[in-house]
Amino acid sequence: MDATKQIKFLTYNVWSREDVFVYKRMLAIGALVEKHNPDVIFFQEITPYIRSIFEDLPWWKKYHCSPVPPQEQATQQSFCLLLSKLPLESIGRWKFVNSPTGKGYVEADVNPDPATMKPAIRVATAQLERPSPPAPMRCVERYAQAEHAVAALSSTENVVFGGDMCWRDGTDRPFPLPAGWFDAWPDWQDRVRPYRGTISCRTYDGMWEEEVVMFNGFAAPYDPCSGGRTGSCAS
């Protein structure tokens, strides 16, 4: 990666369902990685099988990947991954203690210019607790997980935190951003609203905006009020 250029981030919830055209879906996500060539990738809902698909794709060899302990893979719960073209240092990961579904968090340092004294960038990803409307909404758990994540990052000067926040702007409280942090989500909404309209300025569980036809026409049940917020924050 050229240290004189901007760093490109990609965040993607790959959807852990292995019974729904998983191989075709992962090839489509891999094509997006090749197209956009990000420097850092935040993946959520990875399973051991999904990871094995990615490992066989040509672009995988460009990246350093955060390790996943064998005991975590053995739980049959999905997990998050960090990938970076630069070496990952000081890697940390945990499961949120208040998560009934094993949602977790991963962080690491990347240094775009190790020859200088510039501080490293702390990158982190998470999947917060997902709402299951009409109940339970998991608002309390989700907010506590967000607070836990940003508290872990608040002592670091340069931070990029991205992932599947599962945040519902009409239901959840404002995201607990520390002073001086920038939320990329409102800026993204402003950019796409003129093209998509107000109701579409979000992402949806079970929807693929790439090419649904690639998955033999499968589309999960869709409720326009069930959209969840993804995105990233930076300090």
Every domain of the chain and the residues it spans: 9-234
Residue 47 has what pLDDT?
Answer: 96
Residues 6+ away with beta carbon under 8 Å from 179 = none
What CA–CA distance (Å, rounded) separates 146 from 176?
Answer: 7
Angle, CA 121 vertex, CA 12 and CA 11 arms, to 5°: 5
Residue 209 has what pLDDT?
Answer: 44
Residue 205 has what pLDDT?
Answer: 41
Sequential pLDDT tens for the chain (235 residues)? 554 568 999 999 999 999 999 999 999 999 999 999 999 999 999 999 999 999 999 999 999 999 998 888 888 789 999 999 999 999 999 999 999 999 999 999 999 987 777 889 999 999 999 988 777 899 999 999 999 999 999 989 899 999 999 998 788 999 999 888 988 877 777 776 666 555 444 444 434 444 444 444 444 443 333 345 555 666 6
What CA–CA distance (Å, rounded) separates 46 from 29?
Answer: 12
Question: Nearest-CA neighbor of 81 among 133, 18, 91?
Answer: 91
Fold of the domain spanning 9-234: Deoxyribonuclease I; Chain A (3.60.10)
Name the pTM for this structure: 0.82
* Angle, helices 22-36/48-55, rounded to nearest 10 degrees: 50
Spell out where the chain has E strands. 9-13, 40-46, 64-65, 79-84, 89-95, 104-110, 121-127, 159-167, 182-183, 229-234
